[in-house]
Amino acid sequence: MSQPDPVLGVNGELPRGENKRQVVEEMFDRVAPGYDRMNRIISLGLDTRWRNRTLEALRLAPAARVLDLACGTGDFCVDLTASGYRAVGADFSAGMLKATRTSAPLVRVDAAALAYPAESFDAVVCGFALRNFVDLVQVFAEVARVLRPGGRFAALDAAVPESYLARAGNTVWFRGVVPVLGRVLSRDPEAYRYLPASTAYLPESEALINLLVDSGFTNVEHTTMTIGSVQLLTGTRS
Ligand SMILES: C[S@@+](CC[C@H](N)C(=O)[O-])C[C@H]1O[C@@H](n2cnc3c(N)ncnc32)[C@H](O)[C@@H]1O
């Protein structure tokens, strides 16, 4: 008899609530050592371009204090620190934090309950983590709380392209090729089945915009990149 998938469960269903929190944390702990390599392969090396555009959207002043929320192995922290910004990384996976290559200070914390005083940061950046959060409303409320008025938020995440052809290509890559790569190159194939499936957690762009507005942001914008396979949500703390 085949073993149940530890990430997607017996019926291949996405975990919810407290179960999701635990499953996601344990999954990132397991994939952490090979995460960067798989990330570059899965994104076909385009993630650097996406990250640059995300950081540009923050419109940072020199020496700005920036929180990299759900920092993982700290790619944003590395870029921010190299450009002279004061970056801080926060993530709940001990494995991911251990695998970081950044000199920025790191904190192990849940994004839904950040251990920082109000108005601590000039900007918050978040890469490929929105769909992993259990309660997006609570996380956006925390982002709003730790940002100073006028501070910027930019969240980069995967998306499902709208055009039929782009969606077909995206499906072949993420649901066909990536799980195979995960099986061959990583010791955690379940994680690379979860990755494409987890885009289903994300609200539609209109709903994401409304959530951010309701959390106290203005100038909220939503754009896509690379034939709609990646989305960027930005806003200014009012
Ligand atoms: C796909 S990785 C992205 C890592 C990094 N931001 C990047 O762009 O490569 C998602 C990260 O979100 C973190 N994460 C998920 N849910 C979290 C939560 N509730 N609190 C803190 N970190 C969380 C995971 O541990 C993981 O490191």
Backbone angles phi, psi at 16, to 5 degrees: -130, 165
Cα separation, 67 vs 106, whole angstroms: 10
- The reply to whether ligand 1 has any atom less than 6 angstroms from the CB of 15 is no
Residue 12 has pLDDT above 80, yes or no: no
Contact 99, 129 (CB under 8 A): no
pLDDT tens digits along 44-61: 999 999 999 999 999 999
Q: Which of ligand 1's atoms lies nearest the C-alpha of 51?
A: 8
Nearest residue (by CA) to ligand 1, atom 27, is 72
- Give the percent of the chain with pLDDT over 70: 95
Backbone angles phi, psi at 146, to 5 degrees: -85, -10
Residues 6 or more apart in contact with residue 118 via CB below 8 angstroms? 145, 146
Q: Which of 19, 11, 41, 10 is nearest to 184 (CA)?
A: 41
Give the domain ranges of the chain: 17-237
- The reply to whether ligand 1 has any atom less than 6 angstroms from the CB of 93 is yes
- The reply to whether ligand 1 has any atom less than 6 angstroms from the CB of 142 is no
pLDDT tens digits along 208-220: 999 999 999 999 9
Find the 1 Cα to ligand 1 centroid distance in Å.
33
CATH superfamily, domain at 17-237: Vaccinia Virus protein VP39 (3.40.50.150)
CB atoms within 10 A of CB 121: 24
Residue corresponding to tokens 């990132």: 28
Nearest residue (by CA) to ligand 1, atom 14, is 70
- The reply to whether ligand 1 has any atom less than 6 angstroms from the CB of 133 is yes
pLDDT tens digits along 186-200: 778 888 888 888 999
Residue 93 CA, chain-centre distance (Å), reads 13
Radius of gyration of the chain (CA): 17
- Give the percent of the chain with pLDDT over 90: 77
Cα separation, 12 vs 44, whole angstroms: 27
pLDDT tens digits along 74-102: 999 999 999 999 999 999 999 999 999 99
